Structure 1
């Protein structure tokens, strides 16, 4: 059961963003809670990951911070309280430009999947709020076994640092691959205690049945048969492993698949409804609106473009009283 691949498919319906950020004048930045997932990759200098309720964590070049479900956090040049950091400024989409040179203690690549509708997939919500992995293999006790990740970082930095043909296709693919490698490395480090136990063959069988044939009219009885368990035992173990009851997971999977089909195909609503297990487009539309807060047609028409650019953040002028702004 390849949960990492399923996670990537689920978050692709979000708005993809990528930036190279240099907090200027030794400042850091505070990132408020958002609907989605993202990561920071330290590429220059050193800094600290700060949160609301945990001790600061020192970060070096090659360290990657994954925010699995949009938890609030900050990056700072020194340990501090998260509320002491200026907020990350909202920035409109801009074409990629070379980074502006200026004083900065550190720089990092930022990649995000922002979900305008719906919720972060259950599997990502089951992870710790913030995960730190490293691709720096010069440190003691860290063997060089993730050269692929370092190559991805180089490619991603090149894409956000200059205007190139094909960026619209390259950036989403690179962000997908970075997330895949971060999750792989976290698993290899043995820290995946909160991840659903797909080594449970019975639950994996039920998940595979749902994923392979979402249009089938599944019931708890049919899924428990696929898992080879009694209904009561299956329902209890499924909820413990996956984090929600079987039918709730089934609905979420169907609607997530429907969202991807709305984004990636020109299929009619009736065809998509049948593909994901709904008898009519009206039944699908009602369920979709309840989950995503928008009609399927509205979701299909909403922008799915990514944001790119290399931005330098500056302090407000003396007495300005405003938050730092993005400067193109």
Structure 2
């Protein structure tokens, strides 16, 4: 009996602290993520085109290569390095900064294993992929990210990230039954690990005094965000959110606004409408039920609020 109580108690504690980062990924990603394992033999250079409304990654599984960007100096990459382009900006990978690139790659929808110039054992093996994002629901966390996130390989660091890379590489190299379910799940897991690693590292640079990296490392602000994400339907006020944060009303409002660039209730309204948009696309629940899920007792009031944010009525949004 006692063990059962402790199990229920632990479950309540976990469910009471909704994972804001997981919610961010859930609300902004749409469609099927795609990925490919590519083996290269020198000389090679591959251009990856800019794709608005997407985020892309490159992982070096074997051998060295270079990341080439028109607006920056070439970046040498080594085995285990991860490059994430959160805003879909184009770039080139090459065996040398002087090699001329060929046509864009990784532009098909199905996972694949590709061989380039594979006359001998490949000198470099990479894992490339992209996530399709819902531009109308882009979370401000994504806007805070730089054009390029480079996570150099460090032996023994970020074991969850490395394990996910290994699993994804194996599935792409030797697809088996269930791959259609496993690969998208691993790609979502990879995205979460990349963002988690960046959020963990970014405050150490001394530059993250504001923004989501700072907010998610601030216990008071995180507590308020968790409350909003846990139950957006509650009639939250600045005072009740301040209580969740363990602060008085005025200091909490100043702190939240300074870190995130918007007042608490502005973010609450934005999150409610984004949650509603996701429910409209992913469920056939009636508008009255969705309105209740995001804190509106009146379907008319909900429809007006939704139209202010998205420029269209909820029913039309669902149909399109």
Q: Establish whether TM, by shorter chain, passes 0.5.
A: yes
Alignment RMSD = 3.5
Matched, 1:93 2:109: yes
Aligned counterpart for 1:68 among listed residues 86, 99, 117: 86
Aligned-partner Cα distance in 2 for 1:76–1:277:
51
Change (3 A) 1:245 1:78: farther
Residue 292 of structure 2 corresponds to residue 274 of structure 1:
yes
| In 1, Cα distance between equivalents of 2:124 and 2:294 | 46
Within 5 Å, which residues of 2 pair with 1:1-328? 2-21=19-38, 26-32=44-50, 34-79=52-97, 88=104, 91-94=107-110, 96-100=111-115, 102-103=117-118, 106-135=124-153, 142-161=154-173, 163-189=175-201, 190-191=204-205, 193-194=207-208, 195-227=213-245, 229=247, 231-285=249-303, 287-288=305-306, 291=309, 296=314
Determine helix, strand or coil for the equivalent of 1:99: strand
Q: Which runs of 5+ in 1 are unaligned?
A: 136-141, 303-328
Cα displacement string for residues 8-38 of structure 1 (whole angstroms, at most 9, x for unaligned residues): 3333445422223457861221431522433
Q: How big is the shift at 1:221?
A: 4.6
Tell whether the 8 Å contact from 2:291 to 2:298 is kept in structure 1 after alignment: yes
The answer as to whether partners of 2:47 and 2:90 remain within 8 angstroms in 1 is no
Q: Deviations over 1:165-218 (max 9, x none)?
A: 323321221012212322343355445854133343332232122112201233
Question: CA–CA distance in 2 between the matches of 1:115 and 1:292?
Answer: 16
Measured in 1, the distance between the counterparts of 2:312 and 2:101 equals 34
Q: Which has the higher helix share?
A: 2
CA spacing shift, 1:259–1:171, aligned 2, 3 Å? farther
Q: Distance between the aligned counterparts of 2:163 and 2:225, measured in 1?
A: 33
CA 1:3–1:282: 2 relative to 1, 3 Å: same
Change (3 A) 1:225 1:52: farther
> What is the deviation of 1:63?
0.8
Q: CA deviation at 1:281?
A: 4.2
TM-score normalised to structure 2 length: 0.74
* 1:117-151 per-position Cα deviation (integer Å, ceiling 9, x unaligned): 4143212222322211134xxxxxx4424444333
Tell me which of the two structures has the higher relative contact order, counting C-alpha pairs closer than 8 angstroms and 6 or more residues apart. 1
Q: Distance in 1 between matches of 2:302 and 2:172?
A: 38
CA distance in 1, matches of 2:81, 2:91: 16
What is the CA–CA distance in structure 2 between the aligned matches of 1:101 and 1:76, rounded to whole Å? Answer: 12
Contiguous gaps of at least 5 residues in structure 2 = 1-16
- TM-score norm. by structure 1 comes to 0.72
Shift of 1:110: 2.2
Q: Distance in 2 between matches of 1:180 and 1:295?
A: 32
CA contact (8 A) 1:47 1:58 kept: yes
Residues 253 and 36 from structure 1, CA distance in 2 versus in 1: closer, same or farther, beyond 3 angstroms?
A: farther
